[in-house]
Amino acid sequence: MSTRIVPDMSSSPALARYRAGPAPFALVTGATAGMGEAWAHALAAHGFNLLLHGRSPAKLAAVRDAVLASFPTRDVRLCVLDACALPPDARELEGGVAPLNLRIVVNNVGGSGGHFESVLEMPSQQLVDEITCNAVFPTLVAKVTLPKLRTGGPGLMLNISSIGGIWPSPYISVYSASKAFNRLFSMSLHGEELAEGTDVDVVCLAPGAVVNGRAMQGDGSAMTPLSSTWVVNAIAAISPRPWRQRPKPFIVPHPAHRYSVAFLRLLPNTLANSIFRSQMVALRDESRGVGKASRMSGGGNKSRTPTALGPKATQAEQQQVSTAAPAPALQNGPPAGAAGTQDTAAAPVQPRAATNEVMAG
């Protein structure tokens, strides 16, 4: 795990609304890698003690030690719990939050099984794992933690969805649908808290592609930022403004992702869906070596052209896609195990637990 240099932001006004009461705590689920790990460091920097959730005690301990190296006075506690277990066992989480002045919850755990597949190709256990991790577990976390957030001062719940939860995303259909659930569930909770007159802010955050050190590698770019950069942008988006003190219920924090979403929302739904479908077919083909085979045969890489829509696409639909901007990459890009030139079609698909140790959000 790399050493992080994180400046002390405990006097920053960005999250000051939630630093209420003695020893304020933040819960981060899926905290062992990617955006979860970045949230842990950022919230510690902003003056919060931490309850870190994950399924690997060793990885959680490593994140705790890294946070304490920068902020030795923080109280960092661990909650080891498998987010893919069905039914989830909430006793560890309930016991962990019970004594805390819990002010922030980052409902971050989630991910994909690691391959671009149709539903018919997915092993049944992988399908269940993805739905459990992406939808059932975050719902349970909300139920357990909302009573704590309602007491002791303003509270904040951040539910991490994905751009892939805005538009239908073939070949990661279960992931896309579960992230759509995150978005609507979060915004419905936001409405409930307003109706009940509580001081809890419920916010859904939608990432696009983010470098997480696992499924997505690299140094970051405008369209694919580092996890730490994305979290900084998220905190800035949540921060109070002169015209509003409480954050909006749905935010696409990273500028490049936000502009892409804004552009796609200007298009007719059929065209936006076509763009997404074209991109997903291209990513599936690339993961299976189809694009590489095409280049070797002299046909060029057509995986990102309108022909990738498949034989059922109409000529007008293909022409529309060819003149439109590319769709924003989905959260953390290709699911783990399906990136680059790995030929997933050549190897049997293995069920894989979907947690943020593989993929954030």
Bridging pattern class, strands 24-28 and 49-54: parallel
Task: Spell out the residues 6+ positions from residue 33 whose beta carbon is closer than 8 angstroms to its own.
Answer: 59, 212, 213, 214, 356, 357, 358, 360
CB 350 within 8 A of CB 229: no
CB 50 within 8 A of CB 128: no
What's the CA dihedral at 336, 339, 343, 346 to 10 degrees? 10
Strand order in the sheet with 155-160: 76-80, 49-54, 24-28, 101-107, 155-160, 200-205, 250-251
Question: How far is 149 from 142, CA to CA, in rounded Å?
Answer: 10
Question: How far is 160 from 332, CA to CA, in rounded Å?
Answer: 12
Question: How far is 186 from 192, CA to CA, in rounded Å?
Answer: 10
- In the three-class reduction of DSSP (H, G, I as helix; E, B as strand; rest coil), residue 274 is classed as helix
Which of 181, 103, 99, 176 lies closest to 137, judged by CA?
181
Which of 109, 225, 119 lies closest to 168, judged by CA?
119
Give me the active site residues, please: 175
Tokens representing 49 are 């003690």
Indicate if the alpha-carbon torsion angle 236, 242, 246, 248 is positive or negative.
Answer: negative
- Residue 60, number of CB atoms within 10 A of its CB: 21
